[in-house]
Amino acid sequence: MTLSGARLGRPTWWRRLTGAASAKRLAGFVVPGREVALAKGIDLEAAGLRLVANPRHADVLVLVGEIPPGLSNAVALTYRQMPRPRAIFSVGAGPVTDLPSPDVSIAASQAEVEAGVAQLFALFRDAAWTSHEPHARHQADVQDHAHDTGGMGGHHDMGEMDMDHMAGGGFMSMVMMTRDLPRSADGLPMEWLDVPFGPLFPGLPGGLRLRLTLDGDTVVRATVQPGALGRGLEEAWLGPVDGFVDRFAAIDPLSPIAYRVLAEEALAAAGAAPPDASLHHRRVEMLERERAASHLNWLASFSFLLGDRWLVTAALALHGRIDPARDTSALRQVREDTRVLMGRVARSPLLVRRLYGMGRLDYEMRPDALSRLRVRLGELEQSLDQLLAAGDESTPVEVRGGPDTGTGEATLETPRGPATLSIEIANGQIMRAKLTSPSQRLVELIPAVAEGHELADALLGVASLDISPWEVDR
Amino acid sequence: MTSWWWLVLAVLLGVYAIAVLEEWTKTGRIAPTAPLRSGLALLGRESLVPRQPDRVLFELAPLVLLIAAVLSLAVLPLAPGLLFADLATGALFVNAALAYVMVAVVMAGWAPNAPFALIAGWRFAVGMRAQSLATSAVVDSQAPLWNVVAQPLGFGLFSLAAMAVAFLPPFDLPIAPSELAGGVFGEYTGARLVIVRLGRLVLVLSLATAVTVFYLGGWLGPVLPPWAWTSIKVLAVAATMLSAGRYLPRVTIDLMLAWAWKLGIPLALVNILWVGITLLLAKSG
């Protein structure tokens, strides 16, 4: 039994004791993000892991789902930031470049996760320390991980900038030192920090990469840096019509059903047999269930950013009950608990005060973070009502074949807004597929909701948009 | 000399009890061995040093935090005569010692040479506000009426300020996990992190004891021995401070400053006026 990230040293009784102590409750840093695990129906905390927001404080790097190639460098850097003893836990993830093989590898299901966490406990208890340098130390392991930047962004990037104008030796007056620095709104020359946030920053969706220029605690410039995921999916969409739905549905792990249905609708519009009424009925039910789960997933992340631990717990508890609630009585109970949650949110003056005016957009209704929260809670209620009206029956969405030749376009209301897919088919091959997703529009709003605000408010504004980076980076 | 050993033992037990309470507020479970396990686990982990740190400040910041917290606790009585130092200016000394908490946090923010920590350090330096006699006499003076009844306004203000000094939610601006990934203490691991966490626990213990001594009658109470009353009150205050933020969103720096300057200081002045009136009434009566 060996741990790839074991700490080097003879396993004395004291060291064994520290290993056994850590094995009781391991801390995990989730990649690409907790929201992906939740969307896959995996509750890591219920399985016994304690989730942390900083890899420096993590024992286990948890990889959930296929890690996109564009993220592999950030993931490897994140791993290097973790102090030994450390482990890699793969939950339905394939190999990641520049990262050692996982210590425990399982399929993405809750039962397997619980068994996997038990294996991790045993590994830390028995193999946290090793007398010998592991034979095949991986490249990521060899480098001095104490000196690396992280995938979260943020570390050390200010070092050079700080030193540039301080260097030169000899006394330099404050007037001289700040002569060429940009002026803040108050006219004072300040130190500006150019700080990367993401693609694995705990307060933002995994895969979203921002660069914020900070004047003190105020964001003066927010730039989205696309391409963090780098999957090359759009090319993979082209090819045989058979299997297109599966290939296309892989775009967004946060709402796979919506994109599956969108692909089917586009195929139908291109000439496939029209869906029968019962199939349509089931699809609507699945979509509403996914929408409800997606909104609760967002609410949990949003509440975490807010620091409202009660709301995080409440949202997670409801999220965990949406999928198993297949009969009317269970759904009715979820609906009732949702009503209680909404009442609590509406009655919390501090929460309302915190969100009012944050991330406001200069549109007709001047929507802000509070209005977005209310809209999503309203949609959550509507989705549960529709599920209740649908009754007990529930079956997976069926995948159908497509036409040999034709063009088609379909628009579907995903949890984040309307998405449109247009396809062109010739000789049984998808020749062209163009997707317009809601997050593409939402990403463009980031500078508007972030610039000119304090860092906390800027992050809140961005999180309130409910962006899925997976829809943008294909 | 014997009482010193009792004091050390009481402080260690108090810190441990608060660690158990903190775990309870996070997980909802009472796990008596969790702090011990957590401490052992941290001691077994590598203690990393980030690239190009200010090494002196990086090493000193956890120690300054711990020492400031211990010093503030040193003048607070747990029972009659049971305190490390019975200073005539004990209450002022508490405030003076707590001022070094800000120094420690700013040092921890600057030292790792990392923006998240630096921003967090600024936040605390900007947001920290000053709050300001023999402490045993303060307790004795509450025999007829506890200060929480005589000065409810002062009690509320002091308790909120205590939470802000210990950066407990919703005032956890310098260590916000979701906004700054751990902030000022995000770069500390292993044994250094043990000192940071120990310092913070002692700080919470010290502030809960201060609330107890200044407003809740310290060791005063029927039937039970004085140390028992102090323990019960301190743990109740600590539990309240630790769990209050669970139901609230984190405050922002501008809101905290606005409350402190526009509401906190005027209300504190009102409290001073109220204390003066009650003193005059008591003398004339």
Min Cα distance B251 → chain A (Å) is 8
Disruptive mutation site among B24, B29, B43, B45 for chain A (greatest number of A CBs within 10 Å): B45
Q: How far apart (Å, rounded) are the C-alpha atoms in residues A141 and A4?
A: 9
* 3-class secondary structure, B98: helix
Interface of A with B in 145-184 (CB under 8 A): 145-148, 152, 154-159, 162
Contact residues, chain A, for B114 at CB < 8 Å: 154-156, 158
Please tell me which of the candidates A25, A158, A304 has its beta carbon nearest to residue B118. A158
Tokens describing residue B188:
């500390």
Contact residues, chain B, for A304 at CB < 8 Å: 178
Give yes or no for a cis peptide into A199 (omega within 30° of 0).
Answer: yes
Closest CA to A386 of A324, A342, A322: A322
Q: Inter-chain contact B246–A350, Cβ cutoff 8 Å?
A: no
Residue type, A3: L
Interval B148-152 mean pLDDT? 84
pLDDT at B129 over 50: no
Closest CA to A255 of A35, A30, A34: A35
- pLDDT of the residue at B269: 87
Query: For residue A193, what are the β-bridge partners?
Result: A214
User: Residue A43 CA to chain centroid, in angstroms?
Assistant: 14
What is the average pLDDT score of chain B?
Answer: 86
Interval B2-17 mean pLDDT? 86
Say what percent of chain B tops pLDDT 90. 29
Q: What angle do CA A450, A451, A454 make, to 5 degrees?
A: 75
Min Cα distance A24 → chain B (Å) is 8
Interchain contact A213–B (C-beta under 8 A): no
Q: Inter-chain contact A83–B48, Cβ cutoff 8 Å?
A: yes
- pLDDT of the residue at A135: 46
Interchain contact A350–B (C-beta under 8 A): yes
Please tell me which of the candidates B41, B181, B251 has its beta carbon nearest to residue A202. B181
Residue B118: CA atoms inside 13 Å, Cβ hemisphere, count?
A: 24
Min Cα distance A263 → chain B (Å) is 35
Q: What angle do CA B181, B187, B188 make, to 5 degrees?
A: 120
Interchain contact A210–B (C-beta under 8 A): no
**Per residue in B223-240, pLDDT tens?**
889 889 999 999 999 999
Angstrom distances, CA of residue A298 to CA of A44, A255, A303, A380, A464: 17, 12, 8, 11, 9
Min Cα distance B38 → chain A (Å) is 7
Main-chain phi, psi angles of A434, to 5 degrees: -125, 125
Tokens describing residue B14:
């108090």
Residue type, B159: S
Confirm if A378 and A368 have CB atoms less than 8 A apart: no
Query: For residue A305, what are the β-bridge partners?
Result: none
Contact residues, chain B, for A217 at CB < 8 Å: 119, 122-123, 126, 253
pLDDT in tens, chain A (474 residues): 788 888 888 889 999 999 889 888 899 999 999 999 999 989 999 898 999 999 999 999 999 998 998 888 899 999 999 999 999 999 988 888 888 999 999 998 888 999 999 999 999 998 888 887 654 444 444 444 444 445 566 543 333 333 333 333 445 555 665 666 666 666 665 667 888 897 999 889 999 999 998 887 889 899 998 888 878 888 888 888 888 888 898 899 999 999 998 988 888 888 766 666 667 777 788 888 899 999 999 999 999 999 998 899 999 999 988 877 677 788 888 889 988 888 888 888 888 888 888 888 877 677 889 999 999 999 999 998 888 887 655 454 554 556 778 888 999 999 999 999 999 988 888 888 899 999 999 999 999 999 988 889 999 999 999 999 999 888
pLDDT at B117 over 90: no
Alpha-helical (H) ranges within A157-217 are 158-164, 174-177
Interval B18-23 mean pLDDT? 92
Q: Inter-chain contact A351–B249, Cβ cutoff 8 Å?
A: yes
Max intra-chain CA distance, chain B:
67
Give the DSSP per-residue string, A210-235. EEEEEETTEEEEEEE---SS---HHH
Contact residues, chain A, for B253 at CB < 8 Å: 217, 454, 456
Min Cα distance A192 → chain B (Å) is 11
Disruptive mutation site among A8, A166, A217, A453 for chain B (greatest number of B CBs within 10 Å): A217
Max intra-chain CA distance, chain A:
82
Closest CA to A263 of A104, A363, A71, A408: A408
Main-chain phi, psi angles of A415, to 5 degrees: -60, -25
Min Cα distance B74 → chain A (Å) is 31
**Count of A-B CB contacts under 8 Å:** 165
**How many other CB atoms are found less than 10 A from the CB of residue A262?**
27
Closest CA to A315 of A326, A304, A327: A304
Contact residues, chain A, for B179 at CB < 8 Å: 203, 305, 455-456, 459
Q: How far apart (Å, rounded) are the C-alpha atoms in residues A300 and A308?
A: 9
Closest Cα in chain B to A311: B247
Contact residues, chain B, for A159 at CB < 8 Å: 51-52, 113
- pLDDT of the residue at B236: 95
Closest Cα in chain B to A9: B44
Please tell me which of the candidates B34, B193, B250 has its beta carbon nearest to residue A307. B250
Please tell me which of the candidates A154, A214, A307 has its beta carbon nearest to residue B170. A307
Closest Cα in chain B to A22: B41
Please tell me which of the candidates A159, A201, A457 has its beta carbon nearest to residue B252. A457
Contact residues, chain A, for B123 at CB < 8 Å: 217
**Per residue in B254-280, pLDDT tens?**
888 888 888 888 888 888 888 888 888
